[in-house]
Amino acid sequence: MRRAIYPGTFDPITNGHLDIIRRAERLFDELIIAVAANPQKAPLLDLATRENLVRKSVKGTDGIRVTTFDGLLVGLVDTYQADAILRGLRAVSDFEFEFQMALMNRELNARAETIYLMPSVEYIFISSTLIKNIAAHGGSVGNFVPGHVEQALRAKFGHAAPGA
Tell me the per-residue pLDDT of 95-138, one tens digit each, with 9 for 90 and over: 888 888 888 989 888 888 999 998 899 998 899 999 999 999 99
Average pLDDT, the chain: 91
Map out the domains of the chain as residue ranges: 3-124
Determine whether 156 is an active site residue. no
pLDDT digits (tens, 9 = 90+) for 110-122: 888 999 998 899 9
Q: What is the mean pLDDT of residues 65-91?
A: 92
Question: CB-side exposure of 2: number of CA atoms within 13 Å?
Answer: 11
pLDDT band at 90 (very low <50, low <70, confident <90, very high): confident
Please give the CATH architecture assigned to the domain spanning 3-124.
Answer: 3-Layer(aba) Sandwich (3.40)
Using alpha carbons, list the distances in angstroms from residue 29 to 36, 79, 90: 22, 17, 24
Query: Which of these is catalytic: 23, 65, 90, 159?
Result: 90
The answer to whether residue 41 is catalytic is yes
Residue of 87, 128, 132, 154 marked catalytic? 128
CB 28 within 8 A of CB 4: yes
* CA gap 143, 123 in Å, rounded: 10
Please, which pLDDT band fits residue 164 given cuts at 50, 70 and 90? low
What span, in angstroms and rounded, lies between the C-alpha atoms of 102 and 85?
Answer: 9
CA distance 129 to 78: 30
Contact 98, 92 (CB under 8 A): no
**pLDDT in the model for residue 161:** 64
